[in-house]
């Protein structure tokens, strides 16, 4: 997946891949966490580190979606979205991680709420 969305006039939203860019660090932190003794202070610190990284990934994804949907709603009077079977596509082992990272459901939800607003 190179583009997250393409408008009718050819404008494309590039997929920022927040998880893919931080995946190596995330795996390293998860391994460190799994090696810590349960109930220890160092485990709590490692758990906090993992949570902070996951929050950064989530925030980056949300920021991309917010900017794109706000721009679309502001520039267009009518918006049509292709119906995708995202749940079915997530069952594909080769694409699941990248599709989940793209946050299609979040884009649809944001477009709908901003259009009603």
Looking at beta carbons, which pairs linking 100-104 to residues 24 or more positions away fall under 8 Å?
100/19, 101/15, 101/17, 101/18, 101/19, 101/20, 101/61, 102/1, 102/4, 102/15, 103/61, 103/62, 103/65
pTM: predicted TM-score of the whole model, two decimal places: 0.76
Q: What is the pLDDT of residues 17-59, one digit of tens each?
A: 888 889 899 999 999 999 999 999 999 999 999 999 999 999 9
**How do the domains of the chain map onto residue ranges?**
16-116
């Amino acid at each position: 997946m190179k583009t997250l969305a393409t408008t009718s006039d050819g404008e494309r939203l590039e997929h920022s891949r927040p998880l893919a860019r931080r995946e190596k660090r995330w795996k390293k932190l998860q391994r460190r966490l799994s090696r810590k003794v349960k109930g220890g202070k160092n485990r709590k610190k490692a758990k906090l580190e993992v949570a902070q990284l996951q929050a950064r990934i989530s925030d980056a994804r949300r920021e991309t979606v917010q900017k794109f949907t706000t721009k679309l709603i502001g520039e267009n009077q009518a918006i049509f979205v292709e119906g995708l079977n995202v749940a079915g596509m997530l069952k594909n082992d080769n694409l699941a991680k990248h599709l989940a990272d793209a946050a299609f459901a979040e884009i649809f939800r944001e477009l709908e709420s901003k259009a009603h607003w």
